Amino acid sequence: MRKKSGKLFARREDREIFDWPLVSAVIPTYNYGHFVLEAIRSVQGQDYPRIELIIVDDGSSDQTREVLKGVKGIVYIYQKNQGLSAARNRGISVAAGEYVLFLDADDLIGRTSIRKRVEYLERNRDKSAVICRSACFRRSVYPEPIAALHREWRQPRSADLDLALHYFNVAPPHAFLIRKSAIKSASLYFDTGLRACEDYDFWLRLARETGVPGLIRSCWVYYRQHANSMSRSHVSQYRHDAELCRRLLTYGSFAAYWPNLVARTDADYLAAMLAASLRTARRLWHVDRSCFDDFVRGHVLAVQDRFLIAQAEAPVTDATDLYLSMARLTLYQMRSRDCSIDREIYCCVRDALAIRGSFFLRAVSSGRVINSPGLAMKLLKLDLHVVFVSVANGELSRFVGALSEEIRRAFTSLSRALTRRQ
């Protein structure tokens, strides 16, 4: 029996439950000798006592090997250059921990981030992974209590994480803490054929095989932005975004993967995918015109067709309002600002995207608490986008009809709330 400490877990019942499971932190590095020590120190500075630190040197030709010679308490593995995915896979193969963390050599983790994520997963045995908050930085980081001063990597609501995974990469790799048993049971490895978005591909397959990850907002990791980071290569990044969009469409029924979630339809997931595909298409237009044409005609129209079929079988729910509105806005920008798609394709996709009325009024009518001026302004800003696109498309009458219905629902909801209080 491993020794337990009253300092690690504050409550008595926590001290009885937890027994400090081993966490394997895998740090792949390639010519990042000037960054890797910071990443190692951020792991060694954790307030969690049992961490196995694995450094996979993917054939670095800089001073990485010399820098790491004097570092104690690490497992150092050198291999010929095979790419980031292969380096992470090597780390998975040697990791002995119950949990696995992937930390890129140029990134950092907050002091409490491992402990709090382990606590979450030990309490929530049905979750295969958990995601914490992520802050972007360039030179130095703020400590966790004031980490929100950084620009934050956008994190979806826990209830909408399954939809968000079909729209964008919800977090950087080190924001995830994963059960090693989940990786093993699903036979998961990073795709060595991908030179970008390999982490997004991994999270999608992990979620579909083992369930949607959990979310916590009490700890942080830090994502470094610099000139040599892989995500700064826009051409490669956007091409791989397109590849991930295509892969998603090859899956079967989406709703069937997570039957225990709140009611979702295939149309919900396809609405998020259509919004993501249009956003990716617009980005491709600016960097690779030939890839753009193939992607729009071969993929975007295919998503739109599947969306219409799925919607006829089971309509979208209110959870997809945001994705439908973002898709309409992106589509309008592609037609009017970029002049990147012809009118035939524009009208074909536009007609598939229903106008859903006001975000603000729908939040009121559904009983959602608008507890901050920031949230109210965000909802009203989205409403302005909807009005703008509706006017530009000559669909103002349809929007007014949807808006009047939302006003009626909002007044009904408010009157019921007042009646209950009386």
Token pair recorded at residue 132: 């914490």
Residues in the chain: 422
Domain assignment present for residue 254? The answer is yes
Q: Domains in the chain: how many in total?
A: 2
Contact 117, 175 (CB under 8 A): no
Cα–Cα distances (Å) from 404 to 288, 353, 400, in that order, read: 43, 19, 6
Output the average pLDDT for the chain. 83
Tell how strand 75-79 and strand 51-58 pair up: parallel
- Whichever domain contains 82, its CATH number is 3.90.550.10
Q: Which amino acid is at 249?
A: L
Cα–Cα distances (Å) from 203 to 86, 109, 182, 244, in that order, read: 16, 19, 12, 12
Look at residue 14 and give its three-state secondary structure. Answer: helix
Domain assignment present for residue 4? The answer is no
Mean local confidence (pLDDT), 25-51: 95
Q: Which amino acid is at 57?
A: D
Token pair recorded at residue 354: 């229903």
User: Does one domain contain both 363 and 384?
Assistant: yes
Contact 176, 207 (CB under 8 A): no
C-alpha radius of gyration, the chain, whole number: 23
User: Does one domain contain both 75 and 158?
Assistant: yes
Q: What is the pLDDT of residue 3?
A: 41
Higher pLDDT, 147 or 68: 68
Q: Measured in whole angstroms, how far is the alpha carbon of residue 58 from the centre of its chain?
A: 26
User: Does one domain contain both 145 and 286?
Assistant: no
Q: Please identify which residue in the block is written with the tokens 């600016």.
A: 286
Between CA 88 and CA 329 the distance in angstroms is 38
| Domain final residue pick, 185, 216, 232 | 232
Domain assignment present for residue 395? The answer is yes
Between CA 167 and CA 303 the distance in angstroms is 13
User: Does one domain contain both 245 and 211?
Assistant: no
Domain assignment present for residue 7? The answer is no
Domain assignment present for residue 3? The answer is no
Express as a percent the part of the chain with pLDDT over 90. 48
Task: Decide if pLDDT at 2 tops 50.
Answer: no
Token pair recorded at residue 288: 């690779």
User: Does one domain contain both 227 and 244?
Assistant: no
Domain assignment present for residue 253? The answer is yes
Name the pLDDT band for 252 (thresholds 50, 70, 90): low
User: Does one domain contain both 150 and 169?
Assistant: yes
Task: Decide if pLDDT at 369 tops 70.
Answer: no
User: Which has the closest alpha carbon to 183: 26, 326, 306, 9?
Assistant: 26
Express as a percent the part of the chain with pLDDT over 70. 75
Cα–Cα distances (Å) from 11 to 8, 18, 119, 229, in that order, read: 9, 11, 12, 41
Between CA 183 and CA 206 the distance in angstroms is 7
Mean local confidence (pLDDT), 40-69: 95
Please, how many CA atoms are within 13 Å of residue 409, restricted to the half-sphere of its CB? 17
Q: What is the pLDDT of residue 332?
A: 82
Between CA 154 and CA 317 the distance in angstroms is 23
| 289-300 confidence digits (pLDDT tens) | 889 999 999 999
Q: Measured in whole angstroms, how far is the alpha carbon of residue 158 from the centre of its chain?
A: 11
Name the pLDDT band for 325 (thresholds 50, 70, 90): confident
pTM: 0.81
Between CA 109 and CA 362 the distance in angstroms is 38
Q: What is the pLDDT of residue 143?
A: 72
User: Does one domain contain both 188 and 282?
Assistant: no
User: Does one domain contain both 218 and 355?
Assistant: no
Between CA 380 and CA 364 the distance in angstroms is 12
| Domain final residue pick, 173, 198, 232 | 232
Tell how strand 99-102 and strand 176-179 pair up: antiparallel
Domain assignment present for residue 5? The answer is no
Count the neighbouring beta carbons within 10 Å of the beta carbon of residue 166: 22
Between CA 175 and CA 417 the distance in angstroms is 40
Q: Measured in whole angstroms, how far is the alpha carbon of residue 134 from the centre of its chain?
A: 11
User: Does one domain contain both 211 and 264?
Assistant: no
Between CA 50 and CA 48 the distance in angstroms is 6
| 98-140 confidence digits (pLDDT tens) | 999 999 999 999 999 999 999 999 999 999 999 999 988 887 7
User: Does one domain contain both 83 and 182?
Assistant: yes
Owning domain of residue 127: 12-232
Beta strand ranges found along 6-146 (DSSP E): 23-29, 51-58, 75-79, 99-102, 108-109, 129-137
Between CA 326 and CA 168 the distance in angstroms is 13
Cα–Cα distances (Å) from 322 to 96, 151, 408, in that order, read: 42, 22, 21
Task: Decide if pLDDT at 413 tops 70.
Answer: no
| Domain final residue pick, 170, 204, 232 | 232
Which residues sit opposite 51 in a β-bridge? 23
User: Does one domain contain both 107 and 155?
Assistant: yes
Domain assignment present for residue 48? The answer is yes
Task: Decide if pLDDT at 206 tops 70.
Answer: yes
Q: Which of 72-76, 366-370, 395-399 has the highest mean pLDDT?
A: 72-76
Q: What is the pLDDT of residue 187?
A: 92
User: Does one domain contain both 173 and 281?
Assistant: no
